[in-house]
Each structure stands twice: as structure tokens, then as C-alpha cells.
Amino acid sequence: MVYTVTAMFITKTEKIIADKFIKDGYIILKVEDSKRLRKLQNFIVKSISKNTKNKKSNLDILNSYYMNKRNKDLNQSRLRIYNNINNNQNFRKDFYFLAKHGLDAIVGNELVMQNKINLSIQNPNDHSSLLNMHADTWSGDSPYEVVVWLPMVDAYKSKSMYILPAKYLKKFQKIFLKNQSNQKYLYSKLKKYFHWLEIKFGEVLIFNQTLPHGNIVNKVNETRWSLNCRFKSIFSPYEDKKLGEFFEPITIKPATKIGLKYKLPS
């Protein structure tokens, strides 16, 4: 069902964000709280660096991680840091506030958030950390969700990710119908339409997860660190990932709380 919108009571800034997101399917914004960002980065660095007197900057420590960690040991380290992140009670809250106004403009202000924040670490020439071209909705995610993708270092070229802009979705659908089972075929036909995203540390990406996206082998001589998490409006339709199982309410308003508890007198 397609709805015609006759009125949009939003601010000029919200309209700019909304129009950009609808046009491209993604938007890169400056994080809204640099102190919270540094706090998250410091937490990750402390999880990997035993030497608290290290004179290197956080970015140097993260970028040069590959020099101290072999690719075959990478997933074990990633899981340990992932658990540290998700055992920290304030980490998800700080993550949310880095993109709050962008989420308000794109998704709404009564949100549910993924229970766990995902961590990706991609060393140079590491073939074990690849995400082939995919759209999250192909594996049970709701089209009403968005992904917030936050790099802990500068992400560029093969150290970043690619995405198919929304204007090429019809072209993708035609190619997909011809040979939907062959990933290499699909990638080769769409490669020239992909946008390689350049996202600096201090910026955050919000993207429409119905768009095909992925990464390739990192050929930049630096390790990529990124976090990602899904958000959606609490009353929007769910697919395989349900409220209470995969998502948790984070910004429910008083009127909604009252309404959910209300029972008509009998």
C-alpha cells in the first residue's frame, strides 16, 4: 500500500535529512556528541591495549592493530571485545545519542533498538571478515529498520563499505530476476553503480538496509573498526526479529505508556 503524504510538519533541518535519505537511501552525518564518541573509542582501546601508558593516539592503536593480531586469531578477539561492549550498561545509550537527531528525522522519536551492538574488525588482506553483497531484508529484517554504522577510525576505499544508491534499485531488480542465485554475477553487473562510502572518524552513517551493500578485502594498510546497530519505530511492522527478543524499547513517550496500559471501564 502506498500512502500520499499531504503535509510534512517538520523543521528545515529535518527536511534536508529526510529528503537526502529518501533520494540516496543513506546519509552521512557528524556525530552529535564528540565526548560520547571519544568515550566509546576509549573503551574499545582499553579493551585491546594492556599498556595504559602507551603514547600512541587511539587512532594509531586501532589502525595498527593488524601488526599485533594475526587474522586467524581475529574473531576470538572480536568476540571478547564485543562481549565487553555489550556488558557495558552505558555503551548503547552513548551510541544512540551520537545519531539521535538523524534517527528522529528518519525513523521517529519512539524507537526500539537492537539489543546488541555489532562490532566489525577488518585487518588488511583478511578474507575471513567479508560480507558479500546483500540486503538485510533478505534474511528476515524488517524494511522499516535502519542501520546506524559508526567507524572508530577513518573508513575509505576498501577499508570502508559499498552501497547501491536507491536510484539504482529498479536496475538491481531487473538484474536480480535474471540470475538471483549467483552472487558473483550480481556483483559484477552492479559493481559500477556502487558508491564507496568515505566516512571519517567523527561521522556516522544511517542507511536503508533494503539496499544491497557489503565490503571487499581491505587493501589499505590499516585495520578497520566499526560498530553497527539497528533501529525502528516501535509500532512499525516486525519480521523475524521481534520486540523483546531482538529489539528493546528505548524512547517510549508517556502518552504511549498510558495508552498501552489503558483498559476501557466495564
Angle at 161 between CA 194 and CA 109, to 5 degrees: 100
Give mean pLDDT in consecutive 10-residue pieces for the chain, a chain of 266 residues: 68 95 97 98 90 77 88 88 96 98 97 97 91 90 97 98 94 75 80 95 97 95 97 96 96 95 92
Decide if 4 is inside a domain. no
**pLDDT at residue number 58:** 95
Decide if 7 is inside a domain. no
Decide if 18 is inside a domain. yes
Alpha-carbon gap, residue 4 to 265, rounded angstroms = 37
Contact in structure between 249 and 112 (CB atoms under 8 Å): yes
Nearest CA-CA partner of 251 in 31, 96, 91:
96
Decide if 5 is inside a domain. no
Decide if 19 is inside a domain. yes
Whichever domain contains 227, its CATH number is 2.60.120.620
What is the domain count for the chain? 1
Decide if 3 is inside a domain. no
Decide if 150 is inside a domain. yes
**pLDDT at residue number 231:** 98
Please give the residue range of the domain that contains residue 175. 12-261
Decide if 153 is inside a domain. yes
**pLDDT at residue number 51:** 58
